[in-house]
């Protein structure tokens, strides 16, 4: 039996057993469904069943389990599985590392994610563009701008082809950290690097300007965005409208919301809440509610 390639189904769980290259290997994709549903008891039951029948979980199966735990932000279990891999003689692959780094960043632990990156290097695995981008995003979103800048420079030094994505991430990090001047400088330098801002980049910069109350500059950037052939999306419009509303520029906000609705976009929950509050407090006419109904 060990010399043959065998597959059989467990009807209860839909688990698949496979024997490859003379050794038992379990592929348990259905575990992902249980993990995403938060049913980790059932997920563990399947994996224990595999092991009990003499099957060894392969790297792909561990990745499924780790990803499921990360999606539900149960990082202690994800990290435990990560360390279990080496104990059973399996080497985590790039997917394993990227998943774990992303999970740690999502729960606000980018420094712990950096340690996983160091482990990755020590194991002989080369981080790829996605690895760096995930960690860069985590550092920026958690306001670790110094570490993010160091990582970004490393990406440049090792010769990674940097497209607009890491630059957008870094601009967002600068805005979040309150370093708008650095964000503006980097944004304005994109053309010298042969890059063009996309919708996401423009929206990040507009949001940063709105946060600082620089509405005229934000609105000018919105207009420039359209002139450059990069049409704003619903997120862009909502951010700009909320900026006007926060600064009591109701008429400009309403004008923008009308434009947004005409273009087929909808007011998001935050914009709706702000408009309803404004209507209650200032007696804004019912056309506001009609406009929201249209969106």
Q: How many CA atoms lie within 13 A of 103 on its CB side?
A: 24
Residues 71 and 64 sit within 8 Å (Cβ to Cβ): no
pLDDT reported for residue 284: 58
Q: How many CA atoms lie within 13 A of 97 on its CB side?
A: 25
pLDDT reported for residue 16: 40
- Per-residue pLDDT 10s for the chain (295 aa) are 333 333 333 323 334 433 333 344 444 556 666 666 777 777 777 667 766 666 677 898 888 889 888 988 999 999 999 998 988 899 999 999 999 999 999 999 999 999 999 999 999 999 999 999 999 999 999 999 999 999 999 999 999 999 999 999 999 999 999 999 999 999 999 999 999 999 999 999 999 999 999 999 999 999 999 999 999 999 999 999 999 999 989 889 989 998 999 999 988 999 988 888 776 665 555 566 566 656 5
pLDDT reported for residue 285: 56
Residues 17 and 7 sit within 8 Å (Cβ to Cβ): yes
Distance between CA atoms of residues 278 and 127, nearest Å: 49
Tokens standing for 6? 């065998």
pLDDT reported for residue 8: 34
198-224: b or e for each residue (b if 16 or more CB lie within 10 Å)?
A: eebbbbbbbbbbbbeebbebbbebbee
In the chain, domain spans = 1-91, 233-295
pLDDT reported for residue 42: 72
pLDDT reported for residue 28: 58
Please tell me whether residue 17 adopts helix, strand or coil conformation.
strand
Q: How many CA atoms lie within 13 A of 168 on its CB side?
A: 17
Per DSSP bridges, beta strands 15-20 and 7-10 are antiparallel
pLDDT reported for residue 12: 36
Tokens standing for 162? 């940097």
pLDDT reported for residue 275: 83
């Amino acid at each position: 039996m060990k010399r043959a390639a065998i597959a059989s189904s467990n009807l209860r769980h839909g688990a698949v057993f496979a024997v490859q290259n003379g050794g038992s290997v379990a592929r348990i994709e259905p575990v992902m469904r249980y993990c995403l549903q938060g049913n980790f008891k059932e997920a563990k039951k399947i994996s224990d069943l595999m092991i009990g029948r003499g099957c060894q979980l392969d790297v792909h199966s561990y990745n499924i389990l780790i990803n499921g735990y990360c999606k539900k932000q149960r990082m202690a279990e994800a990290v435990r599985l990560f360390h279990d891999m080496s104990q059973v003689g399996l080497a985590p692959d790039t997917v394993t590392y990227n998943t774990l780094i992303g999970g740690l960043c999502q729960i606000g632990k980018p420094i712990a994610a950096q340690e996983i990156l160091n482990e990755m290097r020590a194991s002989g695995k080369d981080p790829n563009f996605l690895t760096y981008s995930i960690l860069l995003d985590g550092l920026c979103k958690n306001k670790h701008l110094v570490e993010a800048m160091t990582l970004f420079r490393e990406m440049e030094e090792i010769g990674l082809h940097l497209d607009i994505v890491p630059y957008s991430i870094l601009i967002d990090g600068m805005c979040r950290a309150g370093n708008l001047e650095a964000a503006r400088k980097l944004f304005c330098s994109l053309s010298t690097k042969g890059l063009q801002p996309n919708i996401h980049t423009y929206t990040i910069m507009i949001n940063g300007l709105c946060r600082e109350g620089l509405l005229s500059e934000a609105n000018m950037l919105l207009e420039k965005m359209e002139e450059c052939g990069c049409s704003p999306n619903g997120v862009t419009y909502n951010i700009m409208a909320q900026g006007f509303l926060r600064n009591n520029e109701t008429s400009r906000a309403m004008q923008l919301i009308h434009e947004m609705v005409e273009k087929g976009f909808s007011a998001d929950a935050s914009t709706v809440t702000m408009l309803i509050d404004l209507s209650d407090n200032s007696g804004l006419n019912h056309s506001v509610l009609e406009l929201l109904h249209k969106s």
